[in-house]
Amino acid sequence: MSILADRESRLFIDGKLVAGSGGTFETVNPATEEVLGVAANADEADMSEAIGAARTAFDDTDWSTNTELRVRCLRQLREAMQANLEDLRELTINEVGAPRMLTSGAQLEGPIDDLAFSADTAENYAWRSDLGYATPQGIPTNRVVAREAVGVVGAITPWNFPHQINLAKVGPALAAGNTLILKPAPDTPWMAAVLGEIIAEHTDFPAGVINIVTSDDHGVGALLSKDPRVDMVSFTGSTNTGRAVMTDSAVTIKKVFLELGGKSAFIVLDDADLGGACAMAAFTVAMHAGQGCAITTRLVVPRAKYDEAVEAAAATLGGIKPGDPNSKRTVCGPVISARQRDRIQGYLDSAIAEGGRFACGGGRPDDMETGFFIEPTVIAGLDNSAKVSREEIFGPVLTVIAHDGDDDAVRIANDSPYGLSGTVFGDDDRAQAVASRLRVGTVNVNGGVWYSADAPFGGYKQSGVGREMGVAGFEEYLETKLIATIAT
């Protein structure tokens, strides 16, 4: 497999690698602004063909009931990706701009390993359970609850952690017996297209079970929400786009999974190690240039220690310089595109306009003329009503907000349209009490790690609907059927 040299990826439809009817579109290295190569550009006809292939594979084959085959195929995919790990690592660093250090975790190796959880879950899952004998309406009845695949799943994914998010949908959806069409973000088409190449060369997936459609036209992906042949849409991305997915899916009453935006709070209580907590909050914001929906971008600290907290956060974040993602020492690489860099700069400008100040950072690095880089930035002097406190920036930007005690910290954290994640540092009992009051889907208490293949991930409020990963994420792709049989 040639990963980078003169690369031109293709669509994967009905078991075949094919050209896109719309020609090709370029993919760019965000660290150098150089064109890496091209990806197949699908049009609506290509997407319709992919949906038809998935529909036929679900309706006319035994894929949905052949658990042994599904488990074998997923394990083959995992083994093949591991065998091509170094090529995939270089591809990821170059197309995503992901720092090399992160590819040993959630940017590559972790998601590949997590395919084992999907396979193991399918292999050991209780597909049928006995609800027991009863006499509803006086009729002797034996009842069984069956769990079955939803059907055809459309998966739409973003560019920030493409392997993790692609495989967190592909793994459980296929393990559960569904067929699938994967539509990745135009910024990172190769991350998905390479799956088609690996599947075609190294696995026994039947034709049509998984289809991969790359396109620079977001309207092509929107067809997954609108087409009546699709039974479910699994979407990760912005809240605004999530609303559109939900609206389009409502016409045919599709099942919808949504993992959307976040504006998570890192709460520091007054008995916490202030310097250590603020340093951790700052470091977290710098990782992958802050391009993570669950990153805690609001640092909520005791008012009496506000200046000290700002200084501690700036000392850490100001010492992290954006750099070449190929370097083993880089934590903060580029953001994905010039468009995204300019969007972040707009937020930084709004902070100054609203009366804030930069304790460090505030724009593009003076010494980096190429690449889509933004300096890690600490914003001080604003409260929770500021634009940078309310909206998801998706960059290496930390806003420090003062609180007046535990109750006020909880109020500030929950005063957000989002509810994806949160962190609390302080005395364990107090921190646990604060964590229990946060309206979020995941909470880190004093450094605990919530990311794991067996742990459900998702949010409250406008951060989404449903859960990804864990058994809960697997069951998102199942329907429940009750079978009642007359007892004789």
391 part of the active site: no
Residue 1 burial (10 A CB sphere; 0-12, 13-18, 19+): middle
Residues near 356 by Cβ (< 8 Å), separated by ≥ 6?
379, 380, 381, 382, 386, 388, 399
Which element (helix H / strand E) includes 24?
Answer: strand 24-28
- As a whole number of angstroms, the distance between CA 270 and CA 450 comes to 24
Strands 478-486, 35-40: pairing is: unpaired
Residues near 376 by Cβ (< 8 Å), separated by ≥ 6?
282, 285, 286, 290, 317, 318, 320, 321, 322, 332, 360, 361, 396, 397, 398
Phi/psi class of residue 374: alpha, beta or left (left: φ > 0; alpha: ψ in -120 to 50)? beta
CB-CB contact of 62 with 176 (8 Å): no
- As a whole number of angstroms, the distance between CA 177 and CA 65 comes to 7
What is the phi/psi pair of residue 408, to 5°?
-70, -35
- As a whole number of angstroms, the distance between CA 157 and CA 190 comes to 13
- As a whole number of angstroms, the distance between CA 317 and CA 351 comes to 18
Of the listed 49, 109, 259, 476, which one is catalytic?
A: 259
- Find, among 111, 216, 158, 182, the residue nearest to 394 by Cα: 158
Count Cα neighbours of 237 within 13 Å in the Cβ-side half-sphere. 24
CA-based R_g, the chain, Å: 23
Residues near 103 by Cβ (< 8 Å), separated by ≥ 6?
89, 92, 93, 109
CA 306 from centroid of its chain's CA atoms: 32
- Planar angle of CA 246, 15, 175, nearest 5 degrees: 55
Q: Which residues pair with 266 in a beta bridge?
A: 299, 423
- Planar angle of CA 265, 262, 331, nearest 5 degrees: 75
Query: Looking at the annotation, which residues are catalytic?
Result: 259
